[in-house]
A and B are shown apart, each in its own frame.
Chain A
Amino acid sequence: MAQDKPKLKLAVYWGAACGGCCVSVLDVHEKLLDILAHADLVFWPIALDIKYQDVEQMPDQSIDITLFNGAVRNSENEHMAHVLRRKSRILVAYGSCAYLGGIPGLANFYTKEEVFRRVYEESESLDNPQKIHPLPENEVTEGHLHIPSFYNDVLTLAQVVDVDYFIPGCPPQSERLVEVFMDIVNGSDLPLKGSVIGASSKVQCDECKRKKSDKKGITRFYRPWEVTDDGMTCLNEQGILCMGPATRAGCGVRCVEGNAPCRGCYGPLDGIGDAGTRILSAIASMLDGKEPEEINRAIDSIVDPAGTFYRFSLPGSKLRRKVS
Chain B
Amino acid sequence: MPINDEARVGFYICHCGHNIANMVDVTSVAEYAAKLPNVVLSRDYKYMCSDPGQEMILKDAEVFKLNRIVVASCSPLLHENTFRNATAKAGINQFYFQMVNIRENASWVHEDKELATVKAKDLVRAAISRVVFHKALEKKKVPVNPDVLIVGGGISGISAALNIANAGKKVYLVEKDPTIGGYMAKFDKTFPTLDCAACILTPKMSAVLKHPGITLMSYSEVAAVEGYVGNYQVKVTRKPRYIIEEKCVGCFACIDACIFKEAKFSDEFNEGLSKRKPVYIPFPQATPQVVLIDDKTCIHFKTGKCPQSCAKACDRNAFDFDQKPVTQELEVGTILLCTGFQPFDAARAPYYGYGRYPNVYTSLEVERLVNASGPTGGNVVLRDKTRPKSIGIIHCVGSRDEKTNKWCSRVCCMYSLKLAHLLKEHTDAEIYNFYIDMRTPGKGYEEFYDKLLNEGVHFIRGRVAEVSDWAINEHEKGKLVIRAEDTLIGMVRRIPVDMVVLAVGIEPGKDAQDIRRVFNISCSNEGFFLERHPKLAPVETFTDGIFIAGACQGPKDIPDSVAQAGAAAAQALALIDSGFVELEPNTAFINEELCCGCQVCINLCPYHAITFDETKSVSHINEAICKGCGTCVAACGSGAITQNLFEDQQILSEIYGLLVE
Tell me, yes or no, whether A binds B: yes
Binding site for A on B (CB under 8 A): 593-604, 612, 617, 634-639, 648, 652
Instruction: Name the prevailing secondary structure of the A interface residues.
Output: loop
20 A-B residue pairs with Cβ-Cβ distance under 8 Å, sorted by A, are A201-B593, A201-B594, A204-B596, A205-B597, A205-B598, A206-B596, A213-B599, A214-B602, A215-B603, A217-B603, A244-B598, A245-B638, A246-B637, A249-B596, A268-B639, A271-B639, A278-B639, A282-B598, A282-B635, A285-B635
* Residue A57 CB within 8 A of the other chain: no
* Chain A contacts for B603, CB-based, 8 A: 214-217
* Residue A154 CB within 8 A of the other chain: no
**What's the Cα separation between A245 and B637 when bound, in Å?**
5
* Residue A65 CB within 8 A of the other chain: no
* Chain B contacts for A271, CB-based, 8 A: 639
* Residue A272 CB within 8 A of the other chain: yes
* Chain A contacts for B595, CB-based, 8 A: 202
* Residue A273 CB within 8 A of the other chain: yes
**What's the Cα separation between A215 and B600 when bound, in Å?**
8
Q: How large is the interface on A (under 10, 10 to 19, 20 to 34, 35 or more residues)?
A: 20 to 34
**What's the Cα separation between A273 and B652 when bound, in Å?**
10
Question: Do A203 and B637 contact each other (CB < 8 Å), given the known contacts A245-B596, A285-B600?
Answer: yes
- Starting from the known contacts A204-B596, A281-B637, 16 additional A-B residue pairs (CB-CB under 8 Å) come to A202-B593, A202-B594, A203-B598, A205-B596, A206-B597, A212-B599, A214-B599, A214-B602, A215-B603, A216-B603, A234-B598, A244-B598, A245-B637, A246-B638, A269-B594, A269-B639
**What's the Cα separation between A247 and B596 when bound, in Å?**
11
CB distance from A240 to the nearest CB of B (A): 14
* Chain B contacts for A216, CB-based, 8 A: 599-600, 603
Question: Do A245 and B639 contact each other (CB < 8 Å), given the known contacts A201-B593, A216-B603?
Answer: no
Instruction: Name the prevailing secondary structure of the B interface residues.
Output: loop
Name the residue of chain B whose CB is nearest to the CB of A280: B637
Interface string of A281-292 (1 = CB under 8 A from B): 110011000000
**What's the Cα separation between A176 and B635 when bound, in Å?**
30
**What's the Cα separation between A160 and B259 when bound, in Å?**
95
* Contact of A282 with B639 in the complex, beta carbons under 8 Å: no
**What's the Cα separation between A217 and B638 when bound, in Å?**
20
* Contact of B637 with A202 in the complex, beta carbons under 8 Å: no
* Chain A contacts for B599, CB-based, 8 A: 212-214, 216
Name the residue of chain A whose CB is nearest to the CB of B638: A203
CB distance from B327 to the nearest CB of A (A): 26
* Residue A279 CB within 8 A of the other chain: yes
Interface string of A173-217 (1 = CB under 8 A from B): 000000000000000000000000000011111100000111111
CB distance from A236 to the nearest CB of B (A): 8
Question: Do A272 and B634 contact each other (CB < 8 Å), given the known contacts A205-B596, A212-B597, A285-B604?
Answer: no
* Chain B contacts for A214, CB-based, 8 A: 599, 602-603, 612
Question: Do A212 and B598 contact each other (CB < 8 Å), given the known contacts A282-B637, A285-B634?
Answer: yes
Name the residue of chain B whose CB is nearest to the CB of A243: B637
**What's the Cα separation between A246 and B600 when bound, in Å?**
11
Identify which of B593, B600, B648, B652 contacts A245 (C-beta below 8 A): B600
Find the residue from B593, B595, B612, B638 having the highest chain A CB count within 10 A. B638
* Chain A contacts for B637, CB-based, 8 A: 203, 205, 245-247, 278-279, 281-282
